[in-house]
Structure 1
Amino acid sequence: MIKPAKRLKSVKEYYFSIKLREVRQLTAAGKPIINMGIGSPDLQPPSQVLEAISNSLGDATAHKYQSYQGLPELREAISGFYKNKFSVDTNPESEVLPLMGSKEGIMHVSMAFLNEGDKVLIPNPGYPTYTSVTKLVGAEPLFYNLSDANNWQPNFEELDKLDLSDVKIMWVNYPHMPTGTNATLETFEKLVAFGKKHNILIINDNPYSFILNDKPISILQVKGAKDIALELNSLSKTFNMAGWRVGMLLGNATYINEVLKVKSNMDSGMFYGIQKGAIEALQLSDDWFINQNKIYQERRNLIWQLADKLDATYSKNATGLFVWAKIPKGKKSEEVTDAILYDNDIFITPGTVFGSQGEGYIRFSLCVTSEIIKEAIARL
């Protein structure tokens, strides 16, 4: 047998890849599993978006290789979206890079800036991909703890006590996944100042801004942020286009160009029709967000009832596509979620998937219908 690369010793198969395989096996065995574990939107993309992609298929260039930087009109639409929603000015020619999903962007940014042995600040709890990609490129994760006591914001006093000499990148993610906590402009201002002080590239991963959130903000709103910060965003959650794989990276033209060097060697451009659909989505009125959030509000209210059944507590100020709930003291996250899976046929994510600071918590997805959530409540 050919031995795999040594880098694979540093990572494991993604939790959801393993657990969803088990869920499929239980379903195949006749178990009526309710999947509340993963954040894959079940709602349809906007009808105008579907129409735009359909109408584009006959265009002369629709089926050719596309630009690594995306269509100029897509970059214009992204730039316009950031101006309209965040009051952030960007140059669509040099400060905007469309991506085939923001997960791709995490890898591309890491490959563009990290050398073997560099360190990366990663939130705990946080998105597991930050850690796995860091290890795959030969860098070293350096976890910084977030806690409920500090409203899941970075503790800058603790950060300044760390040995930061080899730190190259700091990942932040607001609105925060998995807790749903929003950042404040004060937090972003402190992050920009922290990055400049220690010469660390700050990257905010921002795909949840418009879900159950009245005040979406961007780190790029902070004065001088482009000197030291990049922002990832995605259409997956906002416009129910997860399977389309449309993301974006915005920031300083020099940084964007370094990422483009990696990206242009990794793909052959985003499918033309998907770009046309994305352009339409980015130009929708606020009515789209209002109507989506009415649905998610109803679902979240029911999820709160479900959490009550488990004696779990939660913040009603959280935003995003999930409900993060604290289970009774003394109970273990995976023991609780496994018991619910095997006894009640309901799959919920244990907080430990997102790091050691997730112990004692569970996470519910809002990507299930109200009727299914009511069924889950009945089972408990």
Structure 2
Amino acid sequence: MITADRLNSVKEYYFSTKLREVRGLIAQGRPIINMGIGSPDLAPSPQVLETLRDSIIEAGAHQYQSYQGLPKLREAIADFYHQKFDVNVDPNTDILPLMGSKEGIMHISMAFLNNGDEALIPNPGYPTYAAVTSLVGAVPIQYNLSEKNGWFPDLDELATKDLSKVKLMWVSYPHMPTGATATVEQLKMLVDFAKKNQILLVNDNPYSFVLSSNPTSILSIDGAKECTLELNSLSKTFNMAGWRVGMVLGNAEHINAVLKVKSNMDSGMFYGIQKGAIAALQSGPEWFEALDTVYTKRRELMFRLVDKLGCSYDENAVGMFVWSKLPAGSPPSEQFIDEILYSRDIFIAPGTIFGSNGEGYIRFSLCVKEEKIKEAIQRF
């Protein structure tokens, strides 16, 4: 049977293939320390787990659920955005819960991109943006981000391009993989650029609450809802990556367009997971403080490891990664990390998986226990 032509436009996700290789080394008895992927190793709060446990015996818990999620979940998301970002959204019209924000990337692309339309993709950036754009028959157009510009796009340069076919622009602040943040003024510039060029701007925002003293939403910018959607997730903030809970927020017209796709793709999120998500979103400040305490200690140790490799980094970057520049004269990123993998049994992500502008960089995940980071330091 011949596969669909769309598969010719994408490759298997890097971590899907590389982690098979890493698991193979572990199966051989190699003591691999995996610092490559941002999968939280910490547990959700006890309250979240208790809520999930108690909810599974409630009436209707195992039936199909609403495509739009429980009303109380949407209300919890709205309250969270109001308290944390000073953003007001209508839980009845402006919010759509998702089975992870990665699902939202596909749904948004299917809702707004026709064959031949173009989408602006950050380089470096989350590789799923480009892959999904290609899968739906649209054309990914990369725009450059650089350390020199603080990993923020040169909007003046972009404005000189032919943008007539561009329908979507993907951004992610705090930025993945670099951890760079955007100021309110920069977010306003993005919104103005999108309005001027009639582009739907989508901000992917799952890292605002990891080592970040100033959580920000692009929806806090005046008039942003006219041209902007924001994706968010409970994966990183609440250690719920495997639960697959995300959300998209925007105006009712845009949300309804995404709902048309989503309602044909699934039959609603499991009731218990939604109840657990509500409990997570209602967490007090002590949860966020405890999370940052853990990641601060890990990051301090990770900086020591990065120093061992002679790499440079931004101490003020946020999120659960340390994005590091290789020292002058180093081999290419993928060769560099393979040498460390096979000589020191440590897996680090090469910057190239996030785009060509990731060459010369590597990324360390903080989803590694302190004792393992210390062990990695000793291996050097």
TM-score w.r.t. length of structure 2: 0.99
- 2:367 aligned with 1:358: no
User: Which residue of 2 is the match for residue 30 of structure 1?
Assistant: 29
Deviation at 1:187, TM superposition (A): 1.1
Unpaired stretches in structure 1, ≥5 consecutive residues: none
What residue is the counterpart of 1:129 in the other structure?
Answer: 128
How many residues are treated as equivalent by the alignment? 379
Letter of the 2:259 partner, please give it: L
- Equivalent residue of 1:3, what SS? coil
What SS does structure 2 have at the residue aligned with 1:317? coil
Tell me the equivalent position of 1:344: 344
Give distance in 2, aligned partners of 1:329 and 1:186.
34
Distance in 2 of aligned mates of 1:168 and 1:306 = 42
Q: Does 1:39 align with 2:38?
A: yes
- In 2, the alpha carbon distance for the partners of 1:37 and 1:308 equals 17
Listed as ranges, the matches of 1:206-285 within 5 Å are 206-285=205-284
For the residue of structure 2 that corresponds to 1:193, the secondary structure is: helix
Q: Which amino acid aligns with 2:17?
A: I
Cα drift, residue 148 of structure 1: 0.5
Does the residue aligned with 2:152 lie in a helix, a strand or coil? Answer: coil
Residue 372 in structure 1 maps to residue 368 in structure 2: no
1:196 corresponds to = 195
Structure 1 runs (4+) greater than 6 angstroms displaced:
none
Q: 1: CA distance between counterparts of 2:150 and 2:361?
A: 15
Which is further off, 357-366 or 181-190?
A: 181-190
Distance, in Å, in 2 between the alignment partners of 1:112 and 1:330 is: 46
Structure 2: runs of 5+ lacking an equivalent: none
Deviations 1:227-282 (A, max 9, x none): 00000000000000000000000011000000000000000000000000000000
What displacement does 1:366 show?
0.2
Cα distance in structure 2, aligned partners of 1:171 and 1:187? 15
Matches of 2:156 and 2:259, distance apart in 1 = 35
Q: Deviations over 1:88-120 (max 9, x none)?
A: 000000000000000000000000000000000
In 2, the alpha carbon distance for the partners of 1:142 and 1:330 equals 31
Q: What is residue 85 of structure 1 aligned with on the other side? A: 84
Letter in 2 for 1:182: T
CA distance in 1, matches of 2:377, 2:138: 44
Shift of 1:286: 1.1
Q: Return the alpha-carbon distance in structure 2 between the equivalents of residues 179 and 234 of structure 1.
A: 18
In structure 2, what residue type is equivalent to 1:125? P
Distance 1:155 1:300 in 2: 30
Moved more, 322-331 or 125-134: 322-331
Return the TM-score normalized by structure 1.
0.99
In 2, Cα distance between equivalents of 1:151 and 1:77:
34
CA deviation after TM superposition for structure 1 residue 330, in Å = 3.1
Q: What residue identity is the alignment partner of 2:155?
A: F
Question: How far apart, in 1, do the equivalents of 2:135 and 2:155 lie?
Answer: 28
Residue 106 of structure 2 corresponds to: 107
Paired letter, 2:312: T
What amino acid is aligned across from residue 309 of structure 1 in structure 2?
K
Residue 161 of structure 1 and its aligned partner are, at CA, apart by 1.3
SS of the equivalent of 1:27 reads helix
Report the aligned-residue RMSD: 0.5
